[in-house]
């Protein structure tokens, strides 16, 4: 039986959706692993440094492989400095705040708050860059934040006042990452998403390791075997692998469809938190998650109507972390 162009495109579409779905679920596992590592006595500074230290050679391996297939144009010093600063914001400071926040709130609430990053980008674009927001986008914003408040009520009931601190830290993390998204947007089309991710990750690794050495120089070498195994899984399967899957998926089906598949992220986090960390699942939590997912679906649907499904990856240049957060 001959293969038709339609069947090839259908397979491309299905593989793209599958990669986006798996990438979203793997990204969400980061919060579970971090909270699990906390139970073994690790601190946020050490966990972040180990994550970036292990992920860095993996990122550079991907960059080396990519550079074999296409010639990379030289970068200017201003671009290098800007990426260094963006790496500090998006991959170090944002991730550090997120790790700190996970000490006080559930993995489910953390993922839902981070999932609001696109709405924060909208608000920054409206108030700072003076870009218009449609009625549908305003409605999505209201619904999304009502959903977060609903899930927060569940955490506040079980964690008390600590939940306020945890949600504040994670929300500020999302805000910092939104600034990174806006700052990196115009650079992606010029230098490429893989090079941006690798260089920004290198910047983050520098700051993460420096912070860990200042905080406690011996901690990086004095952890239990469980911490090192969890960090290895976090760096490889919950950082590098999903980012690569998301990039490939964007090239196949475009970022709006990839973002729709990303709805699996907060859903899978809540159930993984229940299965691994014994975090409760309540109807209040499910209702709040449904509101947030609905809000993001409205935003993605509104965006996808403005772009051609298979061409939008080239028009916006988003990478995996741009879609799913720290």
Q: What's the mean pLDDT in 100-129?
A: 90
Residue found under tokens 């674009």: 125
Q: Which of 295, 304, 250 is nearest to 112 (CA)?
A: 295
Span 173-194, average pLDDT: 86
Helices assigned H by DSSP within 160-263: 162-191, 193-215, 225-235, 241-253, 255-261
How many Cβ atoms sit within 10 Å of the Cβ of residue 207? Answer: 20
Question: Mind listing the pLDDT tens digit for each residue in 209-234?
Answer: 999 999 888 889 889 999 999 999 99
Long-range interactions of 93-96: CB distance < 8 A, separation 24+: 93/176, 93/207, 94/173, 94/174, 94/176, 94/177, 94/180, 94/326, 95/48, 95/51, 95/173, 95/204, 95/326, 96/44, 96/45, 96/48, 96/173, 96/208, 96/211
Q: What is the pLDDT of residue 1?
A: 47
pLDDT class of 3 with cuts at 50, 70, 90: low
Q: How confident is the model at residue 11 (pLDDT cuts 50, 70, 90)?
A: confident
pLDDT tier at 309, thresholds 50, 70, 90: very low
| Residue 285 pLDDT > 90 | no
Name the burial class of residue 1, with classes exposed (0-12), middle (13-18) and buried (19+) by CB atoms within 10 angstroms of its CB.
Answer: exposed
d(CA 99, CA 232): 16
Instruction: Check whether 303 has a pLDDT greater than 70.
Output: no
Confidence of residue 205 (pLDDT cuts 50, 70, 90): very high
For residues 6 and 15, what is the distance between their CA atoms, to the nearest angstrom?
14
pLDDT at 255 over 80: no
Residue 29 CB neighbours (<10 A): 21
Number of other residues whose CB lies within 10 A of the CB of residue 3: 8
On the question of pLDDT at 191 being above 60, the answer is yes
pLDDT band at 307 (very low <50, low <70, confident <90, very high): low
Confidence (pLDDT) at 248: 85
308 has pLDDT over 50: no
Whether pLDDT at 312 is above 50 = no
- Res 37 pLDDT > 80: yes
Give me the pLDDT at residue 203, please.
94
Beta-carbon-side half-sphere exposure of residue 176 (alpha carbons within 13 Å) = 21
Range among 61-70, 83-92, 285-294, 317-326 rated most confident = 83-92
Q: Is the separation of the CB atoms in 106 and 272 below 8 Å?
A: no
Q: Specify the higher pLDDT residue, 16 or 87.
A: 87
| Residue closest to 35 by CA, chosen among 106, 92, 94 | 106
Q: What is the pLDDT of residues 115-148, one digit of tens each?
A: 888 889 888 888 888 888 888 888 888 888 998 8
So what's the pLDDT on residue 323? 45
- Percent of the chain scoring above 90 in pLDDT: 40
At which residue do the structure tokens 């790496």 appear?
87
Cα angle, residue 176 at apex, residues 172 and 182 outer, rounded to 5° = 140
Give residue 311's pLDDT: 38
Question: What's the rounded mean pLDDT across residues 43-57?
Answer: 95
CA–CA separation, 87 vs 194, rounded Å? 13
Give pLDDT, residue 2. Answer: 53
| CA distances in angstroms from 209 to 54, 74, 85, 218, 325, listed in the order given | 11, 27, 16, 12, 21
Task: Provide the percentage of residues in the chain whose pLDDT is more than 70.
Answer: 91
What contacts 217, CB < 8 A, 6 or more positions away? none
């Amino acid at each position: 039986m001959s293969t038709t162009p339609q069947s090839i495109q259908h397979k491309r579409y299905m593989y793209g959706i599958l990669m986006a779905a798996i990438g979203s679920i793997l990204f969400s596992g980061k919060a579970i692993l971090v909270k699990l590592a906390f139970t073994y006595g690790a601190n946020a500074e050490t966990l972040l440094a180990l994550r970036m230290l292990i992920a860095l050679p993996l990122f550079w391996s991907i960059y080396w492989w990519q550079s074999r297939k296409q010639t990379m144009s030289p970068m200017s010093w201003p671009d290098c400095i800007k990426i260094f600063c963006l790496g500090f914001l998006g991959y170090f400071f944002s991730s550090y705040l997120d790790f700190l926040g996970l000490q006080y709130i559930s993995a489910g609430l953390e993922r839902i708050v981070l999932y609001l990053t696109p709405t924060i980008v909208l608000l920054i674009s409206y108030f700072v860059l003076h870009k218009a927001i449609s009625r549908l986008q305003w409605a999505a914003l209201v619904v999304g934040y009502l959903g977060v408040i609903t899930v927060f009520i569940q955490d506040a009931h079980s964690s008390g006042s600590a939940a306020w601190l945890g949600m504040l830290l994670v929300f500020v993390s999302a805000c910092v990452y939104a600034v990174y998204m806006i700052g990196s947007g115009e650079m992606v089309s010029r230098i490429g998403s893989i090079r941006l991710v690798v260089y920004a990750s290198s910047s983050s690794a520098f700051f993460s390791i420096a912070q860990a050495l200042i905080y406690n120089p011996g901690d990086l070498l004095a952890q239990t075997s469980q911490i090192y195994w969890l960090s290895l899984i976090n760096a490889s399967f919950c950082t590098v692998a999903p980012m690569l899957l998301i990039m490939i998926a964007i090239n196949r089906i475009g970022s709006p469809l990839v973002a729709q598949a990303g709805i699996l992220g907060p859903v899978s986090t809540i159930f993984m938190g229940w299965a691994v960390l014994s975090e409760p699942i309540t109807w209040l939590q499910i209702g709040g998650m449904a509101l947030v997912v609905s809000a993001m679906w409205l935003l993605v649907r509104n965006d996808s109507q403005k772009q051609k499904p298979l061409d939008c990856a080239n028009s916006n240049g988003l990478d995996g972390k741009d879609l799913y957060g720290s």
